[in-house]
Structure 1
Amino acid sequence: MDFSLKQTSTLLQDSNTIVLTAHVQPDGDCLGSMLALNQYLVSQGKNVKMILDDDIPVLYKFLPGYQAIQKPTSRVISADLLIVLDASDIERIGKVKEHVEAPILNIDHHVSNTKFADYWYIDQRSAATGEIIFQLLTLLNATITPDIATCLYTAIATDCGFFRYANTTVQTMRYAADLMGYGAKPNLISESMESKPLESILTLAKVLETLELHHHGKIATIKVLPDTLSTLDSTEGFINYPRVIEGVEIAMMFKVMSDNTVRISFRSKTVDVSQLALTFGGGGHARAAGCAVTGRIDDVMKEVLHVAVEHLTEVAL
């Protein structure tokens, strides 16, 4: 059922036992949105759990309250409501879908959203799910604490490339200014995220050695293999290097996981890569998307590259 923001706020008020979750391969938007909403709901006396089927990247461990995020277990739990944040498809929440028994509310901003939930509020005009959560908390007359402001500023800023991407709007900048007024410190947030261990920089150099150009230089790929991942917590930002190469329309990072799954990140300058990701059961934004494909790296790369070339050809027609 398609909900308004007002109906969404009423559903939150009427629910007492709530589980919050978000997509695997967590980024600043899904984590910041989840943590901010959790802090508000707890302040209202709600019984809230945050469950995520993935690890929290080190660069986001400055976010207040991240330690309370749990992983799903084999035990099924019941709740009044399962809120899925920043995920366009039920598969994006991993094992949480089998771990929680509850009606699902989906709050999201992706153009590729499949409307999988019982209730959904989707605003494709929002630069980030964090913008929607800020609107929701404002509607609920919530007290925006410095911790909530930090989480929401991080959510918004990271999903628009710290206000560099095309999804940055006038309203996005206003929200950022408002959150600064509530106590968010942009300098501390960016410094926390930019600080990287030496191993990350050395690993980036190895990953860039796998850089290849395809389709007359319009597609760039990099690979992250399991032995590389074993010494690395996060590959955040790696995809930006092939993306900025002159002439590249689509950048792709293939990350080989231990379970024979290849996670793929897509980035572009002008091409809608959300449709490309959707072809493989993923989703995301027009300029940034992702998916996971089971198979050997060589086979997966061949298949995805084939579809990417077709996608570019169709766009050019």
Structure 2
Amino acid sequence: MDFSLKQIAELLQNSSTIIITAHVHPDGDCLGSMLALNEYLSSRGKSVKMVLDDEVPALYNFLPGYETIGKPTTKIISADLLVVLDASDIERIGKVKEHVNAPILNIDHHISNTKFADYWYINSQSAATGEIILELLYLLNAKMTPTIATCLYTAIATDCGFFRYANTSVQTLRYAADLMEFGANPNSISEYMETKPLESILTLAKVLETLELHHHGKIATITVSPDTLDTLDSTEGFINYPRIIEGVEIAIMFKIMNEGTIRISFRSKTVDVSKLAFSFGGGGHIRAAGCAIIGKIEDVQKKVLSSAIKQLQLAETLL
């Protein structure tokens, strides 16, 4: 059922026990949104538990409260409400879907959202789910603490490339200014996000050795091997390097997982890569999307590149 923010506020107010979750392979938006909403609901006397079917990357260990995020177990938990943040499909929350027995509320900003929940609020115009959570907290007249501000600033800033990507709006910048006034420190957050362990830089150098250009230099790909993943818990930001190459319209990162699955990330400057990801069972945003395909890397790369070229050619005919 399509809900307004006001209806969501009422639903949360009328729920006593709440589970909060988000998508696997967590990023700054889903983590920051989870932690901010948890902080507010807990302050209102709600019984709240955060559950995530994945590890929190060390990159985000500066976020206050990250260590309280639990993992699903075989035990079924009942609650008044399961809040799913920043996930466009039920499969994106992993084992949590079998772990919790509760009506589902989905708050999201992905254009590819499948409307899987019992109640949903989806705004694809929002730069991040963190923007929606901030609007919700405003509606609830929430006391904005430095903890909430830090979490939501991180959520918003990371999902719009620290205000460099096309999804950055005037409202996004206004929200960022509000969060600074509430206690977020952009300098500290950027410092945490930009500081990398030596292993990350050395791994990036190896990954960039796999860089290839296709279709007259308009598509760039990089490949991350399983042994790379054994030494590094996050490859976040790697795909930005092929994306910034002059003449490149679509950047693709193939990440070979040990279980035979290839995780694929897409970034673009002008092409709608959400359609490309959706064609392989994934989803995302117009300029940033992803999917996962089971198969041999050579076959997957050939298939994905063929589709990417077609998507690029289609975009060129519409110019």
The amino acid of 1:167's aligned partner reads: N
- Residue 243, structure 1, aligned to residue 239, structure 2: no
Q: For residues 173 and 298 of structure 1, what CA distance do their matches in structure 2 show?
A: 42
The amino acid of 1:138's aligned partner reads: Y
Q: For residues 8 and 99 of structure 1, what CA distance do their matches in structure 2 show?
A: 23
Conservation of the 8 A alpha-carbon contact between 1:42 and 1:48: yes
The amino acid of 1:24's aligned partner reads: V
Q: For residues 268 and 238 of structure 2, what CA distance do their matches in structure 1 show?
A: 14
- In the other structure, the counterpart of 2:190 is 190
> SS state of the match for residue 302, structure 2?
helix
- In the other structure, the counterpart of 1:281 is 281
Q: For residues 162 and 302 of structure 1, what CA distance do their matches in structure 2 show?
A: 33
- In the other structure, the counterpart of 1:123 is 123
Q: CA deviation at 1:278?
A: 1.1
Count the aligned residue pairs.
317
| TM-score of the aligned structures, taking structure 1 as reference length | 0.98
> SS state of the match for residue 281, structure 1?
coil
Conservation of the 8 A alpha-carbon contact between 1:92 and 1:282: no
Q: CA deviation at 1:24?
A: 1.2
The amino acid of 1:141's aligned partner reads: N
Q: CA deviation at 1:46?
A: 1.1
Q: For residues 309 and 224 of structure 1, what CA distance do their matches in structure 2 show?
A: 21
The amino acid of 1:215's aligned partner reads: H
Q: CA deviation at 1:302?
A: 1.5
* TM-superposition CA deviations, 1:12-53 (whole Å, max 9, x none): 011111111111111111110000000111111111111111
Conservation of the 8 A alpha-carbon contact between 1:149 and 1:184: yes
| TM-score of the aligned structures, taking structure 2 as reference length | 0.97
Q: CA deviation at 1:266?
A: 0.6
> SS state of the match for residue 144, structure 2?
coil
- Residue 76, structure 1, aligned to residue 83, structure 2: no
- In the other structure, the counterpart of 2:142 is 142
Q: For residues 300 and 51 of structure 1, what CA distance do their matches in structure 2 show?
A: 32
> SS state of the match for residue 291, structure 2?
strand
Q: For residues 262 and 70 of structure 2, what CA distance do their matches in structure 1 show?
A: 24
Q: For residues 134 and 205 of structure 1, what CA distance do their matches in structure 2 show?
A: 38
* TM-superposition CA deviations, 1:228-261 (whole Å, max 9, x none): 1101121011000000111111101111112111
The amino acid of 1:73's aligned partner reads: T
Q: For residues 6 and 194 of structure 1, what CA distance do their matches in structure 2 show?
A: 37
Give the superposed CA RMSD: 0.9
- In the other structure, the counterpart of 1:209 is 209
The amino acid of 2:252's aligned partner reads: M
Q: For residues 157 and 186 of structure 1, what CA distance do their matches in structure 2 show?
A: 9
Runs of 4+ in 1 over 3 A off after TM superposition: none
- In the other structure, the counterpart of 2:290 is 290
Q: CA deviation at 1:194?
A: 0.5
> SS state of the match for residue 87, structure 1?
coil
> SS state of the match for residue 176, structure 1?
helix
> SS state of the match for residue 82, structure 2?
strand
> SS state of the match for residue 253, structure 2?
strand
Q: CA deviation at 1:74?
A: 2.0
The amino acid of 2:224's aligned partner reads: V
Q: For residues 69 and 283 of structure 2, what CA distance do their matches in structure 1 show?
A: 24
